[in-house]
Amino acid sequence: MKYKMIVLDLDDTLLRDDGTLSSRNKQALMAAQEAGVKVVLASGRPTYAMKALAEELDLERFGSYILSFNGAKIINWRSQEEAFSSTLTPQMAHALYEMSIEEGVSALTYVGDDIVTASVNEYTLIESQITGMKVVEVSSFVEAVQVPVVKVLMVAEPDKLVLVEEKLKAKLAGQLNVMRSKPFFLEFTEDGVNKGTSLNHLIQQLGIERSEVIAMGDGYNDVAMLEFAGLGVAMGNAPEEIIQLADYVTDTNMNDGVAKVVEEFLLKDLVQTT
């Protein structure tokens, strides 16, 4: 089999607009895992928010992986061991919070299984809805965040966040990785950490070549892994900039675009060689 791993963004890629997994996508991924293909769920979501899907796809039985927090953590779902982990110091989280105040946007991070913020708004509530995590509004962000965190998000209406992203990317170049996961989410992780660099750590541990990896996504935080993989696949619902840089474009997340790639590049290949 040419491809040994398939790496999948979740929202607007593997999942439908209502956040559910279609039966065709599930069936295709289960068949791929049965054939020995490693499935990696790769999302900006916290690990906690990916557990249910990991269970639905039976990642534990197959020894497949979760790549969470935009690559800041990779976990072998069978052993629960971390294949890769990256954090920000509490001091860096505090500094980002101060920058958010200066820029007039809200900031949040994750402590335990909670979303911690000093300012609840529609965007922090969207993150709660996506992740299934409780929002804890604190009077002092600095006092509430006293341990290393995996990432910090700044959230605001998209037009405002475009300007903040441009300014802070320049200001924090060489210090932090700054990327947009959704139009209203601006994410900050350790410098050099993204879905592509983390994927590189994982395949080196597993002895898999880049050419043996398929990566699928729709967003700007997927660019690094699409460019890294042997076959970078954009969803039909992706922005035009993402579509232009992909090696291949599949159908939309609402029309089983993931399953169609698995069937074409993994399962058909398996049938032809048996």
pLDDT digits (tens, 9 = 90+) for 1-31: 699 999 999 999 999 999 999 999 999 999 9
Q: Is the pLDDT of residue 271 over 90?
A: no
Question: What is the C-alpha to C-alpha distance for residues 268 and 43, in angstroms, rounded to an integer?
Answer: 27
pLDDT digits (tens, 9 = 90+) for 186-240: 999 999 999 999 999 999 999 999 999 999 999 999 999 999 999 999 999 999 9
From start to end of the chain, where are the E strands?
Answer: 5-8, 38-42, 65-68, 73-76, 82-85, 106-111, 114-117, 134-137, 152-155, 176-182, 185-190, 213-217, 231-234, 248-249
Q: Is the pLDDT of residue 144 over 50?
A: yes
Predicted pLDDT at 274: 47
Predicted pLDDT at 1: 65
Q: What is the set of domains in the chain, with CATH numbers?
A: 5-86+193-272 (3.40.50.1000), 90-190 (3.30.1240.10)
With a pLDDT cut of 90, the percent of the chain lying above it is 96
Region of residue 70 (phi > 0: left; psi between -120 and 50: alpha; otherwise: beta): left
> What percent of the chain is helix, strand and coil (3-state, nearest 5)?
45, 25, 30
Q: Is the pLDDT of residue 65 over 50?
A: yes
Report, as an integer, the average pLDDT of 48-56: 96
pTM, to two decimals: 0.89
